[in-house]
Homo-oligomer: A and B are copies of this chain.
Amino acid sequence: MVASEVRALFAVASRPEVVSLAGGMPNVSALPMGELGEIVQRVVTEEGSTALQYGSAQGDPVLRERICEVMAEEGISAAADDVIVTVGSQQALDLVTRVFVDPGDVVLCEAPTYVTAVNTFAAFQADIRHVAMDDDGVLPEALEEHLTRLAAEGRRAKFFYTIPNFHNPAGVTLTAERRRRVLEVCRRHGLLVLEDNPYGLLRYGGEPVAPLRAEAPDQVIYLGSFSKTLSPGFRIGWALAPSAVRAKLVLAAESAMLSHSAFNQMVVRRYLATHPWRERIKDFNEMYRERRDAMLGALEAMMPAGSSWTRPEGGFFVWATLPEGLDAKAMLPRAVNARVAYVPGTGFYASDEGRRNMRLSFCYPTPEQIREGVRRLVGVIEGETALRDTFGGASAPATRGDDSPFPDLP
């Protein structure tokens, strides 16, 4: 698809009659708007002379203390001094890449992986290599193979980027046993881990698994975010890093933006201090669990033979695989025409993979919309399958190279 086609498709997909299973936007309409309105007002009227002034490049010290309490919920023990506040965890990804990656350096990441991370690694001209996953997350032996092969070439990777919980887009969670093995492999090869955990607290089933950072503070740069547990509108994320790295990240942040908004940081810190945020996350989890169940139920009831999908215990995404011979990217215009949208799998690889895959988000639409969206999607898949059976190939293969037609808001 060329850019003008992408724009046209996106314009159609944005219409209200289209059920979008594409975006990764949290359902912010569930936020306590009245209370938040009062919080933002009070930050201005009671603390305006600080909130409306420049802040520090590392971020508000009180917020950094609160962030440590948030991370403690998942078993991380950390000092506020090792936290740096960023413009969403996207900026943290950018700063880490800026500090570590020179053109041609190898970065390892899962297959598939978060598309905007790939874009950032690519912007710094990294050599991106994908490590295979299954339903239990990344395969430690595949990681080891990559590292052994690199060593044989006389090369080293700069870091291994992983989303261990409720993976975007794969929907899977790295098991506790695999986490130990991943850390062991990385330790043996002296490889830094970049752990991205925006969804960790959004668990709807199963047992929590401690972050990699909890087990190996010196081996891991950990990224967190309030975008899913509060709101992406404040753009507050963070990195927790070993102190030598953290100092470099602070310098990079100063160069990148001088300082983040003191106002936004004070809003989030006041919310955390005055609002029962743990209870609020429980409410969100009830809401998202219902949506996940709607999607899994609809897929189970309707998807044709030959297709498969992951069963996330949290987060926002299901990763589906179409019957053989189908191409999710080529199929997308027909899906949008049938008033349902998704992100084709090819967008989540730096390589030419993911043709049979699609990411289905259940975070934003209502359960009813989700069921209707899956119904429409299945209709399109069945049409494609019939074409495939008649002509031996349903769609002209999509050309790889340009990007996913939907901005992959996390």
B94 touching A257 by the CB < 8 A rule? yes
A318 shortest CB reach to chain B, Å: 20
Choose one: B25, B33, B53; the contact of A28 (CB below 8 Å): B53
Name, among A57, A119, A120, A256, the residue most crowded by chain B CB atoms within 10 Å (CB to CB): A256
Q: Contacts of A153 on B, CB cut-off 8 Å? A: none
User: Does A90 make an interface contact (CB < 8 A)?
Assistant: yes
Considering the complex, give the chain B residue whose CB is closest to the CB of A42: B37
A54 touching B261 by the CB < 8 A rule? no
Stretch at the interface among A44-52, A278-286, A346-354, A390-398: A44-52
B233 touching A88 by the CB < 8 A rule? no
User: Does A366 make an interface contact (CB < 8 A)?
Assistant: no
User: Does A210 make an interface contact (CB < 8 A)?
Assistant: no
Choose one: B49, B54, B94, B227; the contact of A29 (CB below 8 Å): B49
Name, among A54, A94, A409, the residue most crowded by chain B CB atoms within 10 Å (CB to CB): A54
A30 shortest CB reach to chain B, Å: 10
User: Does A263 make an interface contact (CB < 8 A)?
Assistant: yes
A52/B119 contact (C-beta < 8 A), A37-B42, A87-B260 known: no
A119 touching B254 by the CB < 8 A rule? yes
Q: Contacts of A48 on B, CB cut-off 8 Å? A: 28-29, 31, 33, 36-37
Within A256-292, the residues touching B (CB, 8 Å) are 256-264
Within A329-385, the residues touching B (CB, 8 Å) are none
Q: Contacts of A40 on B, CB cut-off 8 Å? A: 37, 40-41, 43-44
A268 shortest CB reach to chain B, Å: 11
Q: Contacts of A254 on B, CB cut-off 8 Å? A: 116, 119
B410 touching A258 by the CB < 8 A rule? yes
A232/B45 contact (C-beta < 8 A), A116-B258, A263-B264 known: no
Tally chain A residues at the interface, Cβ within 8 Å. 55
Q: How far is the CA of A91 from the CA of B87 in the complex (A)?
A: 11
This chain's copy number in the assembly: 2
User: Does A38 make an interface contact (CB < 8 A)?
Assistant: yes
A28 touching B49 by the CB < 8 A rule? yes
Considering the complex, give the chain B residue whose CB is closest to the CB of A53: B28
User: Does A203 make an interface contact (CB < 8 A)?
Assistant: no
Q: Mark A97-120, 1 if CB is under 8 A from B, else 0.
A: 010000000000000000010011
User: Does A16 make an interface contact (CB < 8 A)?
Assistant: no
Q: How far is the CA of A407 from the CA of B250 in the complex (A)?
A: 13
A232 touching B53 by the CB < 8 A rule? yes
Q: How far is the CA of A404 from the CA of B60 in the complex (A)?
A: 22
B37 touching A257 by the CB < 8 A rule? no
Q: Contacts of A31 on B, CB cut-off 8 Å? A: 48, 52
Name, among A36, A40, A410, the residue most crowded by chain B CB atoms within 10 Å (CB to CB): A40
Considering the complex, give the chain B residue whose CB is closest to the CB of A93: B255
Choose one: B116, B123, B407; the contact of A252 (CB below 8 Å): B123
User: Does A246 make an interface contact (CB < 8 A)?
Assistant: no
User: Does A175 make an interface contact (CB < 8 A)?
Assistant: no
* A-B contact list, 19 entries, CB within 8 Å: A25-B53, A25-B54, A31-B48, A31-B52, A36-B44, A36-B48, A37-B41, A52-B231, A53-B231, A87-B256, A87-B257, A87-B261, A88-B257, A90-B257, A98-B123, A119-B255, A233-B261, A235-B259, A235-B261
13 new A-B contacts, CB < 8 A, other than A91-B256, A261-B264, are: A25-B53, A28-B49, A29-B49, A37-B42, A88-B257, A90-B257, A94-B255, A116-B254, A116-B255, A119-B254, A120-B256, A231-B263, A234-B263
Q: Which residues of A contact B (CB under 8 A)?
A: 25-26, 28-29, 31, 33-34, 36-38, 40-45, 48-49, 51-55, 57, 87-88, 90-91, 94, 98, 116, 119-120, 123, 227, 231-235, 252, 254-264, 407, 409-410
